[in-house]
Amino acid sequence: MSGASSWLQKMRKAELLELCDSVDFKDYDGLKKTEIEVALDEYLRENADQYSGEARLMPFYKTRGRSESSPVKKELTSALSDVESKLRTTKRRVTKAAEEVIATDDSEVEPATTRARSALTRTPARSSALSNLSFASNVPLPPSPAVVADAIDRRTAVLRSKVAGYYEKSGVIEGTEVTRQILSNLTVIHGLIVVFELLKLGPEVLPPRYAFTIPAIALLNTNPYPVKIPDLFLLLTSSFWGPTTLWVFSSFLVPLAAAYFFNLTSKPRTRSHSTSFNYTFDPLTFNIVKALLTYAIFGQDVTFGGLVDLEYVARINSALYGGYKGILAGTGIGTLVTLYEAVLKK
């Protein structure tokens, strides 16, 4: 055996294993790359009748056919040997004729020698042409479009598998699933609505104050940037605690207490004669009570006997997105999500 085909030697081990699986060659466990090449080469030559017609294996059988004794190569070799034998015979004849001419007549030496030189001069040209023909026969022909398309498909499949592997190892899929599981919760949705209101109220009760300036960086071509931080000294004044306390009670604490005591998610237990709850705080009651308090305090200026300062009401209305109507929109979203989950559980 002369060794594996050059077409197989150019492949990587992963591509060789993929080719083995595609031609039902399974005896490659524990083999090195070179051993797989030799074993696969022998397997494909033994099953040439079955696989020689496939487009993706045409390069193998072409290179293998050229590496073995092909009819074209035999014909070129025999033609080359015939020409060399004729040249040797011609050379001997020219040499013999030159000797005879020298012996008979010295005047004919120059023409005979000239003819001999011309014959010898033509001989290397023929040898060069034959050598060029032999070299051209050994140059592999370009593959057909089907082979090129098959090679591109295989490369694309390998690249796709590598990208998929990197994507799985990056943890994006696991992180996406965890985030989806966390956000698909009724409590989290209501919490996000409350956090959105709190972020809008923050700059009103703790306005930003100048702290320092980041100087310009010539290397990065940036401008001076003033840095502002919340004025924490306002935590010691009623300017912060007045509107903050009003918002906390009207939008969070009072609705949460009502949701705990007026819990419509209760279910009786038959064995223990007690009651279980799907939620500790009823989300529907929470949204209803929050909407009623928001409309009464921030929409109708109800002070509840002087407990509510209208100045704080105005500040909260100006700070929140859309004023009290924005709070009502949030309670409407929470109510819709609660009803939707109740329908799905039925």
Statement: residue 39 has pLDDT above 50 = yes
Question: For 42-55, what is the mean pLDDT?
Answer: 83
Identity (one letter) of the amino acid at 262? F
Question: What would the two tokens of residue 152 be?
Answer: 């591109």
The answer, as to whether pTM is greater than 0.75, is no
pLDDT tens across 53-90, in order?
Answer: 787 888 887 776 655 544 444 444 454 455 455 555 55
d(CA 333, CA 77) in angstroms, rounded, equals 89
- Across the chain, mean pLDDT equals 79
Are residues 258 and 291 in contact, defined by beta-carbon separation less than 8 angstroms? no
Task: Identify the sign of the CA torsion 217, 219, 222, 228.
Answer: negative
Are residues 193 and 333 in contact, defined by beta-carbon separation less than 8 angstroms? yes
Kindly report the number of other CB atoms within 10 A of residue 1's CB atom: 7
Write down the pLDDT at residue 169. 81
d(CA 126, CA 132) in angstroms, rounded, equals 10
Statement: residue 98 has pLDDT above 60 = no
SS3 29: coil
Question: For 130-146, what is the mean pLDDT?
Answer: 59
Question: For 40-54, what is the mean pLDDT?
Answer: 83
Write down the pLDDT at residue 108. 41
